[in-house]
Amino acid sequence: MRGGGCGVAGVAKKEKIIATGSSDTTVILWAFNEDDYSIRPIHTLRGHDSAITSISIDQNNDIIITTSKDNTIIIHSLSKGLFIRSINPNNNNNQNNNNNQINQNNLLYYNNGDGTLYYYQQQQKENIIFKYAINGQLIQSIQSDIQPVIVKMLVVRANPSTPCYLLTAGGYQIIVRDCITTEIIHIFDIRNLAGFINSNVIVDFCLWNGEKESLQENLKNDNNQLSLLVLLESCQLLIFNIDENGILLND
């Protein structure tokens, strides 16, 4: 692979496309050949002014969504590599409208179930989660004062008949919010667990057999309870079940 230092990646399984984002501000789409396991570049996506931080792919709607340290969100066509639109969260935040602050942490999660974008931006004095429609319309902005930083976001639904929840992880906490109202449903603090090691912060979490494309397949199984795998800085792995009310169960 070529380009700047690669930092993030995404995969479109059906189209056999790999996306890589790098420090040179570009995202390259690669076609994967299953016969000889080779790849070739097919599109180079441009428009960001700083290093790429997140990539999200929606195969059903043929889009790829990217974020950068320049605090912009850009949507391209996945198959053709054409620019569709850009979203600038700083335009919705007059108190901190400073595009020169490129060293802030930001994070993207795209929920292809309802076509909403969740964009987290860490600023000097406050942390904000923006909720957008895929057309770029701002639905809501939420101040996240409880968590000093967010390292991962996920949208989960325990089964098809229950509400969906936005989970954010960072520091010692996992916060569960209602996806529609964004109200906090539950705050889970790992410091309350027996055998907790001081300064053992959360570095990542993921759904077991339930993230993105595999989520719907998982819900078709008889056992539709989702499991959340939480990785700590000490390399400890915590496993929780998520009930229909968005509560984490440490069985």
- Selection from 156, 140, 173 nearest residue 245 by Cα: 156
Distance CA 240, CA 251 (A): 7
Q: How many helices (H) and strands (E) does the chain have?
A: 1, 20
Distance CA 85, CA 75 (A): 5
Mean pLDDT, range 36-64, rounded to an integer: 91
What is 19-55 written as a DSSP string? EEEETTS-EEEEEEETTTTEEEEEEEE---SS-EEEE
Residue 251 — very low, low, confident or very high, per pLDDT cuts 50/70/90? low
- 203 or 75, higher pLDDT: 75
Winning range, highest mean pLDDT, from 6-15, 20-29, 146-155:
20-29
| pLDDT at residue 98 tops 60 | no
Q: Residue 80: its pLDDT value, please?
A: 94
Residue 221 — very low, low, confident or very high, per pLDDT cuts 50/70/90? very low
**For residue 24, what are the CA distances in angstroms to 3, 4, 6, 60?**
7, 5, 9, 28
Q: Cβ(64)–Cβ(79) under 8 Å?
A: no
| pLDDT at residue 1 tops 50 | no
Q: What percent of the chain has pLDDT over 70?
A: 78
Distance CA 168, CA 151 (A): 8
Domain ranges of the chain: 151-251
Distance CA 241, CA 181 (A): 23
Question: pLDDT digits over 136-176, tens only?
Answer: 999 998 887 788 788 888 888 766 777 888 999 988 999 99
Q: Which residues contact 223 (CB under 8 A, 6 or more apart)?
A: none
pTM of the shown model: 0.76
Q: Cβ(182)–Cβ(140) under 8 Å?
A: yes
Residue 92 — very low, low, confident or very high, per pLDDT cuts 50/70/90? low
- 126 or 216, higher pLDDT: 126
Q: Residue 102: its pLDDT value, please?
A: 43
